[in-house]
Chains A and B, each alone.
Chain A
């Protein structure tokens, strides 16, 4: 057998069909949508039987109350504001938007005695030592019959306030937008404006 026989070429025409079939299968059984949401951290459960409550000075506390009619009341020592709808939360109808209230509360630029205490803290270069309201707490309270939608709308506005503060901080200290900061720089900004949101247990104000 001196003559070499050529191996016949494999017919790979159907390969495309087979792989298309696999592709279709994966397209059908998989889902691409990435879940997104508002991230929160819950406090650990109370260790003892009696309720462990933390005393917060009244001036350090901003109470955001969502009632059974899905209306929102914001209360600090400076006074209170009432929002009847989600549109009013964002500033329609001549109301001060909730996020501006929260920003004013967190920043306390005017060093008012009715807004949180300013303490000087070092955040490292290039921020340096700046006065911040490290004790402030935004307390979001809700009624047992508050709808989830209204609650999320309020949460969203509070988170928006913090995000805008961080964006402004990034512009001021790093001269760029928050998105473009490195992880370390983001951490510095996050330490400068920590999200101090407390979700209290609901109270039955409105009745069932």
Chain B
């Protein structure tokens, strides 16, 4: 039984960490593939409404966002504002925006374009309706009312 504890002061061998970069690179690639870059900074405050029957929006490249809510910057007041692509915009600018987004898409993907309306839950429906009418005029007919998964 003298096999163990030979008595000699053995040094612990150094841990072979040469595969560490490989592992980290694997994680890195995973993140690069599954995530998308944050494309815009939010300029409006919004608390999305909750809904239980939400569907996930797949294919992020097909989704265009319209953010609606009171501005983050209190100096701009508390009225409802709309943010398109990093700046505040008026409803009349939606058509140009949609046309521009559509033009930047692959031609085959254009009919699949979805507009996600991300609006604060205290927004008046008048505003949403105006946005919807503008989207109709722009022939962006696939829309999604963005909502958080909730239990109601």
How many angstroms from the CA of A148 to the CA of B126 in the assembled complex?
9
Contact of A39 among B55, B65, B149 (CB under 8 A): B55
CB distance from B132 to the nearest CB of A (A): 6
Q: A19-B21, A41-B141, A42-B143 are in contact. Are A26 and B28 (CB under 8 A)?
A: yes
B121-137 vs A, CB cutoff 8 Å, 1 = contact: the mask equals 11111101100110111
The reply to whether A149 and B28 contact each other, CB–CB distance below 8 Å, is no
Q: A144-B124, A147-B125, A156-B51 are in contact. Are A36 and B24 (CB under 8 A)?
A: no
A window 146-198: CB within 8 A of B: 146-149, 151-153, 155-156, 159-160, 163
Q: Does B11 sit at the interface, judged by CB under 8 A?
A: no
B window 63-114: CB within 8 A of A: 63, 65, 114
Contacts of B18 in A (CB 8 A): 12
Q: Does B38 sit at the interface, judged by CB under 8 A?
A: yes
The reply to whether B125 and A38 contact each other, CB–CB distance below 8 Å, is no
The reply to whether A147 and B57 contact each other, CB–CB distance below 8 Å, is no
The reply to whether B25 and A19 contact each other, CB–CB distance below 8 Å, is yes
How many angstroms from the CA of A143 to the CA of B125 in the assembled complex?
7
Q: A40-B144, A152-B145 are in contact. Are A147 and B52 (CB under 8 A)?
A: no
Output the nearest chain B residue to A147 by Cβ-Cβ distance: B122
Contacts of A50 in B (CB 8 A): none
The reply to whether A42 and B136 contact each other, CB–CB distance below 8 Å, is yes
Q: Does A54 sit at the interface, judged by CB under 8 A?
A: no
Q: A35-B57, A44-B139 are in contact. Are A152 and B147 (CB under 8 A)?
A: yes
Report the count of interface residues on B (CB-CB < 8 A).
58
Q: Does A32 sit at the interface, judged by CB under 8 A?
A: yes
Output the nearest chain A residue to B49 by Cβ-Cβ distance: A152
Contacts of B145 in A (CB 8 A): 37-38, 40, 152, 155
The reply to whether A155 and B31 contact each other, CB–CB distance below 8 Å, is no
Contacts of B152 in A (CB 8 A): 86, 90, 153, 156
Q: Does A2 sit at the interface, judged by CB under 8 A?
A: no
A interface list, Cβ under 8 A from B: 12-13, 15-16, 18-20, 22-23, 26-27, 29-32, 34-45, 66, 86, 90, 142-149, 151-153, 155-156, 159-160, 163, 199, 201-202
B interface list, Cβ under 8 A from A: 17-18, 20-21, 24-25, 27-28, 31-32, 34-38, 49, 51-58, 60, 63, 65, 114, 116-126, 128-129, 132-133, 135-137, 139-149, 152
5 residue pairs from A and B, CB less than 8 Å apart: A19-B25, A36-B54, A44-B141, A147-B122, A202-B129
